[in-house]
A and B are shown apart, each in its own frame.
Chain A
Amino acid sequence: MALSRTIDTPGLDDAFPVEPSTRRHVLDLDDFSKEEITEVLESARGMKEVLGRDIKKVPALRGKVVVTLFYEASTRTRISFEEAGKVLSADVINMSASGSSTEKGESLLNTGLTIQAMGVDTIVVRHPHSGAPYLLARQLNKVNIINAGDGLHAHPTQALLDLYTVQDKLGWAADNPNGNSIEGLKVVIVGDVLHSRVARSNIWGFAKMGARIVLSGPGTLMPSDMLRSGRVARSQMASMVGVETDLDRAIEGADVVMALRLQQERQHAGFLPSLREYIRRWQVTEDRLTKANPGVIVMHPGPMNEGIEISNNVAHGGASVIEEQVTNGVAIRMALLYRLTIGPGN
């Protein structure tokens, strides 16, 4: 056996078992690779174990400060980020638009600069205007930005927790020699896709992981803007995303069915003929699920209108993973806070 040989591989010790991420912001999933998504999901698996302990506290982010800056109402996303930060020992400061200087007319950018000047490490922002987190990411050079929902545009942490939930239910890549279990799945997203930032980020996420996505709902609520945009139409995405307005046909052979909340004010804006017709044609019911693949899972990003986009039986039935989505959301946000706030080292 040769005792000595020449090799060209640097860094061959356990100090860096993975390539440290240089990512600074999480704005949408369009700039994530399949590999990076897989890394985040695997890391969230380690985080979920922490959440199951008697003592749910690890010192990883001790001395780091996370601000949640919410210009829109939220319960689960905000509490989920707060819990994620606290379990990792970060100090989490919650700030809402109401009760802050925003009421005195302070702009988003000036609020961001003020928070940055206080030495905060990470800002989690939700804003009613699409693109608002991008403005902060561009203008603030000392903080990490996480998009917790911007207008009709994106909600990347929700999409990642949805991917995690599917992976957790259908098998992990590391345990599966054939690669990730999301590849090749049929994912049906039902309802108001047009106004859903959750759906838009999920389309990117599931497509990157190699799933087939079928959108179903009234033609007026399909995101033709996104599907026709050059970035999607010219990319591989075009062949992975389709529209089938007939839900009974869309659901045939589905592995994942995701119902979206029907924002009832849309009815008055002329997107729907009537609520009754919507329920009849697009409610996810037990009857419709019989056409899906055996073992189909049903998801909903919440908050739900039970009896409108999803029937009570399905929402609380055996195929539903809606509660697991919430638990997994904390683990995913822990993984992202850790990834961004710790950084690649120096």
Chain B
Amino acid sequence: MAGSNAVRQPVKAPVKRMQERQIMNQEDVRRAMTRVAHEILERNRGAEDLVIVGIHTRGVHLAHRIAANLAEFEGVNVPVASLDVSLYRDDLRVRGQSKVQPTDIPMGIQGKRVVLVDDVLYTGRTVRAAMDALVDFGRPQQIQLAILLDRGHRELPIRADYVGQNLPTSIEERVMVRLLETDGADEVALIFDDKIGAKRDS
């Protein structure tokens, strides 16, 4: 839902004074997604048999942007699907339930080359869940992974095939991706605890 994570706050998160630093602006996001689309075409020698599958919520919007780029560069219409992974997560017990949204894969993925799309690659658990969810819909010939921002700290042997930007982060930091479709503007920001700021206030 539009901007839901800006309105709702987790119950247990400590309220701290946080600082925010912009990592990518609108132009950076656009250029990164343009390059990712070119790399997809290069790696797959065109767009034949491709299906772009976005992971809810922001991955779906990015998937549509990649498909629009592919249409512009090659004049092909690549099907876009959306995937919800909340029912496949292995960390439900730790992170609790999340919003369940409908998965929509109208074209099927049997024998296709699937490009999974998400905004941030972190532990890799979302991608693992996404691969589990995908195979319930058929056996793709290949699964590739496109990501806007890779922030490191993998807990599983997963890496992205297409990366918009690499950003080494600390585990205490948070990454916020805002997109035009959900948040009114394109932006990637790093959020960190501002201890100096807190001291200044007290």
Contact = CB atoms under 8 A, between A and B. Distances in A.
Interface of A: 1, 3-22, 39, 42-43, 45-50, 53-55, 57-60, 88, 174, 335, 338-339, 342-346
A45 B101 CA distance: 7
A49 B95 contact: no
B200 to A, nearest CB: 10
Contacts, number: 152
B58 interface: yes
A60 B15 contact: no
B18 A88 contact: no
Nearest to B8: A19
Nearest to A13: B174
B5 A12 contact: yes
Contacts of B175: 13
B10 interface: yes
12 contacts: A3-B21, A8-B15, A11-B10, A14-B5, A14-B119, A16-B5, A17-B57, A21-B97, A43-B99, A46-B102, A48-B102, A335-B100
Contact of B25 (A1, A13, A17, A59): A1
Given A5-B20, A53-B136, A10 B15 contact: yes
Contacts of A8: 15, 17-18
Contact of B100 (A9, A59, A338, A344): A338
B11 A346 contact: no
Contact of B96 (A4, A53, A60, A343): A343
B132 interface: yes
A18 B3 CA distance: 11
Interface residues of B, number: 53
Interface stretch (B33-41, B45-53, B86-94, B157-165): B86-94
B74 interface: no
Contacts of A15: 10, 95
Given A49-B104, A60-B87, A16 B14 contact: no
Contact of B14 (A4, A10, A43, A339): A10
A98 to B, nearest CB: 35
Nearest to B1: A174
Contacts of B9: 9-11, 19
B6 interface: yes
Interface in B89-131: 89, 92-104, 119-120
Contact of B93 (A5, A11, A55, A345): A345
A88 B119 CA distance: 27
Nearest to A10: B13
Given A19-B9, A42-B99, A7 B88 contact: no
Contacts of B68: none
Given A10-B18, A60-B87, A20 B96 contact: yes
Contacts of B86: 46, 60
Contacts of B133: 58
A55 B95 contact: no
A9 B4 CA distance: 13
B191 interface: yes
Given A16-B98, A60-B87, A343-B96, A55 B25 contact: no
A173 B93 CA distance: 29
A127 to B, nearest CB: 27
B27 to A, nearest CB: 11
A344 B96 contact: yes
A6 B197 contact: yes
Contacts of A10: 9-10, 13-16, 18
A20 B58 contact: no
B176 interface: yes
A50 B175 CA distance: 31
B142 interface: no
Contacts of B181: none
B170 to A, nearest CB: 14
Contacts of A49: 102-104
Nearest to A339: B97
Contacts of B6: 9, 12
B73 interface: no
A338 B100 CA distance: 10
A4 B19 contact: yes
A6 B96 contact: no
A138 B64 CA distance: 49
